[in-house]
Amino acid sequence: MKVFKFGGASVKNADAVRNVGRIVTQFKDDNLLVVISAMGKNTNKLEELVKAFWENDSKKKAGIIEELKAFHFDIANDLIADKKHHIFSDLEDLLMELECLVDKKYNNVSYDEMYDGIVCYGELLSTKILSDYLHSIEIRNKWVDARNFIQTDSNFREARVKWEETEETVKRILKPYIDRSMIITQGFVGRDEENNTTTLGREGSDYTAAVFAYCLDAKDVTIWKDVAGVMNADPNKFPEAVKLDAINYTQAIELAYYGASVIHPKTIQPLKSKNISLFVNSFLNTSAVGTVVNNEARALVKECYIVKENQTLVSISTRNYSFIAEDNLSNIFVEFARHKVRINVMQNSAISFSACCDTKESRIEDLCRDISGDFKVNITPDCILLTIYNAQNEQTVPAGYRDYKILLKQVLGDAMQLVLQK
Ligand code: ASP
Ligand code: MG
């Protein structure tokens, strides 16, 4: 059996959904499980709804619900001619549920828990539309609520999958259905022990596809994207970027880790452990060969350039000129972890420590405030982290980045990393 994953761009409007229909039709005899994200940018829209709910902004809430209604009904209307079809009342039910959810006041519910309860509607709506559209073109399929299978802890917005429970339920309950019909389900969502909806982190649908593939011992997973495959650089920033035909799991994990955004970083591990191949193909050109990620260790022949924007360099030095050694470092790391500030590269010298982090203003401010008693802290915002992976020759800064100031440079293994400032 195969697992397919279609992201938001592949279902952003009615024509895109028709295209997904054409793709899955070609594979309808393959025992398919299809994972779908929210349509277009609707997860961002739902994030706005969470904020409006939290700020108790009724006008904003109503406006966003109207937009979500219009968006999904437009697509469903375009796809399904029969206006008495149950899809229309199904969508209405879901949207009314959402409206009621954000209408109430709750005690003891955290922002993150509320977030997961609200944003999951993007995936619920998209999968309903896709499933019924496929029925309308006579593709037999079954809509499945992924939350019944993807069991997680209660770490809302970044929930961790409970593998044993998930695998057991998927094998026992879901697997028999796969032999009978295609399964359409949601990416990104799960459920904790208390029956609360959880999510696996933004862009987590790739990971969902990998979790199902692992539990079902799938032959392969295909992520359908609007790019040709995994490229050696972002073509918007590096016009000479080329597609990589094949990479191994380790290379894929490293590229994703350094910030290549084609595959969600957590996706590879479950596939690697069962040697399940991953294809990254273009939904715009289905006959073109994309990238395959598998176990065959091939040497990567191309240099890869990965640019992470929105970085902040946090430079910390001791006030009493004591060394930045184990004790100081351990205090510093505790604070980074406590404030959930993610470090992408770090370096230290005798009395200073520098870390390049994703810019999350309030978290970094809180962190700095909490450590400023013992340490002097200096913040450089608006940095870029450039990683050159698998450099072939003398590692040089690529054209377009040579005018930047290098604030930090590090070479480790196959990767050179530079923190740059304009
Ligand atoms: N819809 C979610 C997001 O936009 C999950 C995903 O697309 O992978 O983050
Ligand atoms: Mg997405």
pLDDT in tens, the chain (422 residues): 999 999 999 999 999 999 999 999 999 889 999 999 999 999 999 999 999 999 999 999 999 999 999 999 999 999 999 999 999 999 999 999 999 999 998 988 999 999 999 999 999 999 999 999 999 999 999 999 999 999 999 999 999 999 999 999 999 999 999 989 999 999 999 999 999 999 999 999 999 999 999 999 999 999 999 988 999 998 889 988 999 999 999 989 988 888 887 788 899 999 999 999 999 999 999 999 999 999 986 777 788 999 999 999 999 999 988 899 899 999 999 999 999 899 999 999 998 999 999 988 888 999 999 999 999 999 999 999 999 998 766 667 888 899 999 999 999 888 899 999 98
Please check whether residue 8 is in contact with residue 71, taking contact to mean a CB–CB distance below 8 angstroms: no
Partnered with residue 186 across adjacent β-strands are 36
Q: What does DSSP say about strands 197-199 and 189-191: parallel, antiparallel, or unpaired?
A: antiparallel
- Could you give the CA distance from residue 395 to residue 303 in angstroms, rounded to a whole number? 10
Check whether residue 356 and residue 212 sit in a common domain: no
Please check whether residue 129 is in contact with residue 87, taking contact to mean a CB–CB distance below 8 angstroms: yes
Residue 59 covered by a domain = yes
Please check whether residue 291 is in contact with residue 229, taking contact to mean a CB–CB distance below 8 angstroms: yes
Q: Give distance in angstroms: CA of 188 to centre of ligand 2.
A: 9
Residue 183 covered by a domain = yes
Domain end: 198, 218, 238, which one? 218
Check whether residue 203 and residue 313 sit in a common domain: no
Residue 287 covered by a domain = no
Residue 95 covered by a domain = yes
Check whether residue 336 and residue 214 sit in a common domain: no
Check whether residue 198 and residue 320 sit in a common domain: no
Check whether residue 179 and residue 328 sit in a common domain: no
Q: Pick the closest to residue 328 from 337, 339, 316, 313 (CA basis).
A: 316
What CATH number corresponds to the domain at position 201?
3.40.1160.10
Domain end: 218, 253, 272, which one? 218
Partnered with residue 307 across adjacent β-strands are 386
Structural domain boundaries, residue 414: 304-421
Among all chains, which residue has been given the structure tokens 């309808």?
28
205 CB within 6 A, ligand 1: yes
43 CB within 6 A, ligand 1: yes
Q: What does DSSP say about strands 405-412 and 415-421: parallel, antiparallel, or unpaired?
A: antiparallel
Q: Is 163 left (phi over 0), alpha (psi -120 to 50) or beta?
A: alpha
Which residue among 157, 185, 202 is best mutated to probe the pocket of ligand 1, counting the most ligand atoms within 8 A of its Cβ? 202
Which residue among 6, 43, 127 is best mutated to probe the pocket of ligand 1, counting the most ligand atoms within 8 A of its Cβ? 43
Number of domains observed in the structure of the chain: 2
CA distances from 85 to 73, 90, 91, 95, 174 (A): 12, 9, 11, 17, 27
- Could you give the CA distance from residue 358 to residue 370 in angstroms, rounded to a whole number? 18
Check whether residue 207 and residue 325 sit in a common domain: no
